[in-house]
Structure 1
Amino acid sequence: MMKWKIAAILAVSALFVVILSARLLEQTENTQLRMAAGQGITEEPALQVTDVNLVDLLSALPLHARIVRADLRGTTLTVDLKVRSSASGTGPVYEDMAELGSLALLRSHNINQLRLRLVAEDAWTGRQHLLLASEMDRSDLSGDTGQLLEGLKTAGNAPLGENLKARLRIVETALWKKAYPQSDI
């Protein structure tokens, strides 16, 4: 009787080890496949942006400008960025726009529109003045979203092409053109 109990315990233990080993092996193979495929090819699970995680997600982005306002209403994310100085050119501004666009339209599954405004603050009065605005809509960008955002991110200090401006619905104010004259060459 005692031998049967020991045999049953050993059998259950062996079965547990086999199941656990199979799961570990599967996870290891998936990790190795992802590493072999390269970081850009692997699929990330779709992100849900909510009021609860919005601040954490935005603060984790490597932005040059400071976020002065963020609002999530339904499937629309609205973000206002305060540009501190035009001395570093348009490159950092375009990079920030691409980062926010990527979060909203590539990494998340529940944001369909990103409304982005870049503002400058008057040092004397504290009033904010609109420099540039963009309204990126997932349905308008269709399958080109990644390419368009990459073009924005890598634009540097060069002027944006009219096609890119039109697709990302970028509107430059007269104040933008005055602060960043190289953007309108």
Structure 2
Amino acid sequence: MKKVNFDKGDKGAYKPSAGADNNNKGVGQNSYVGVVKNKMEYKQIVEEQSQPSLVLDDSCVLDYDYSLALMGKVSDFGLLNNLKMILIKEGFDNFILKYLGCFWVIIEFHTKEILEKFKSHVGVGSWFTSLEYPSNSFIIDERVVWVDIEGVPMNVWTNNTFQKVSAKWGELLFVEDKENM
């Protein structure tokens, strides 16, 4: 019986290699034995992998004055959709609202007076669990994923169903249409 070695081609399919040498079983350039025998090549690969892939210089640093801004962690995920309208209805119309991730937003005000008025507003305590000035050390340590669930029959569109589905990955924070459940 004649043995044939197979090489992986460009398209991922295995095909017999021309003139395969059966006396050198498994000692290819990329095999374990091949790497051990040729330590210089392995050392070169390790050196290439240990180099940083991207270096950020000073031109990448955001130079922006956030002295008229506040970062807030909303008390309920559902507030994120309506926060801008809520703030406008409460008399704050001269601001920029940006989503930072998870429950966090940044609100940029145009004047110090508007910022102070916002901080002293009665509703702020119910909208936000945390309100702080921006800092370079701020890191969002949570993640929120928006999941569309398809294929669920209407007769089981209940809060319990969505709780069970979301429990596979984490916890359910917000359901878009609570009225029809």
**Normalised by the size of structure 1, how large is the TM-score?**
0.25
**Normalised by the size of structure 2, how large is the TM-score?**
0.25
Structure (1 or 2) with the greater helix fraction: 1
Give the number of the structure whose alpha-carbon radius of gyration is greater.
2
